[in-house]
Amino acid sequence: MRELAKGKAAVDRRVAPGMNKESVAKFLGFYRDVRTGREYEMVFQNGALAVRVPGVSTPLEFDPPDAKGYRVLRMNPQARIRFNEDEAGRVISYTAYTPIGEIVRPRIKKTSKP
What confidence tens digit (pLDDT) does each residue in 75-105 have?
999 999 999 999 999 999 999 999 999 999 9
The domain of 35 spans 21-109
Q: 19 and 48 in contact (C-beta within 8 Å)?
A: yes
Answer yes or no: is 9 within a domain.
Answer: no
Answer yes or no: is 14 within a domain.
Answer: no
Answer yes or no: is 11 within a domain.
Answer: no
Global confidence as pTM:
0.81
Answer yes or no: is 114 within a domain.
Answer: no
CATH number at residue 41: 2.40.128.50
pLDDT given for residue 11 in this prediction: 46
DSSP 41-96: EEEEETTEEEEEPTT-SSPEEBPPP-TTS-EEBTT-TT-EEEEEE-TTS-EEEEEE
Domain count, the chain: 1
Angstrom distance (rounded) from CA 7 to CA 94: 38
> pLDDT (tens digit, 9 = 90+) per residue, 22-54?
999 999 999 999 999 999 999 999 999 999 999
